[in-house]
Structure 1
């Protein structure tokens, strides 16, 4: 039996890069093979078709953007505020990275045209909000306040890189830090 020369992970990484750069339409077997410097035959060793591959690309993104982040936060003792601070730091570093922001935006745009992706994205957003909700609830007694803080934090996470405004004498990082710290008081 022949062995696959290009691991599935390399194909998935190339798929995430293509998704970040051009949306799901840019995730094409031929393009990925060219980027990897291999023939497209190796693709079919790991994936039956492009549809199955796109599903695995979404799986990989979801795991990295949600489950891996939560696992990092839960891997050591910390109070809720410190976990939220760490979460905000991880989220901002993920989103400000070219690929992180690109994939996040590409998936959200894709979800506007594909009901299955929209349903999946809703689940991802619910999972992220649920985690934050549990943390905010540790120091906020009012359920509506907890929900409002979650929405504000998540809105900053999703939207801050779309804002082109400057902040006078303040660096964007400093403004983001203050905005998120205000949610922890």
Structure 2
């Protein structure tokens, strides 16, 4: 082994990439450039590896898209719900925190908007349906805990979720159009709760 190669191996041991690393990179690319941004070679470059690493974990790009969508469901829905449940025992305070966080984050991350734009892709459509059902269901559950009848709680959950999506869409289509000041965020949360 030559000295240069030995020196490189000692300085930077390479970490073996996981399927989640690839899925996270695919999600980042999807958020930046849409579904078309999920391409193996650019992702390999982004991760500092070769296409061989990709094929170690996935049979093809479609399998990566499926894995990325599963990561999105886990990270952007299930983990948030779990964190909300753990952080706040009071359903009213939990709902308030969730509504404020959703309104504040609507303009920060374009991923949901990009996924909506790719809703004609069968795997994306299926993931959107699952996530929509889960998110609306969770918000409706919080409204039920506050004493609203199930049908009314579901309507409020649906309205809250579609408000979030509308905020996100407008914020990315027309930057600066959606206010981000604390008074506005409080008004949105209050309106949806009442």
TM > 0.5 fold call: yes
* Structure-1-length-normalised TM-score: 0.83
Query: Which of 170, 173, 191 is the equivalent residue of 1:182?
Result: 191
Shift of 1:110: 1.3
Which of 52, 59, 67 in structure 2 is aligned with 1:56? 67
Q: What is the number of residues matched between the two proteins?
A: 177
CA distance in structure 2 between the aligned counterparts of 1:61 and 1:181, rounded to whole angstroms: 28
CA RMSD in angstroms comes to 2.4
Residues 69 and 90, structure 1, Cα contact 8 Å, conserved in 2: no
Structure-2 residue corresponding to 1:5: 16
Larger radius of gyration: 2
Alignment partners' CA distance in 2, 1:122 and 1:107: 11
1:138 CA drift (Å): 1.8
C-alpha deviation, 1:95, in angstroms? 3.2
CA drift of 1:144 comes to 4.4
Structure 2 residue runs without a partner (length 5+): 1-13
1:133-148 matched pairs, under 5 angstroms: 133-148=140-155
Asked if the contact 1:166/1:172 (under 8 Å) is kept, the reply is no
Q: Distance in 1 between matches of 2:56 and 2:72?
A: 21
**SS of residue in 2 equivalent to 1:183:** helix
TM-score, normalization by structure 2 = 0.79
Task: Report the counterpart of residue 66 of structure 1 in structure 2.
Answer: 77
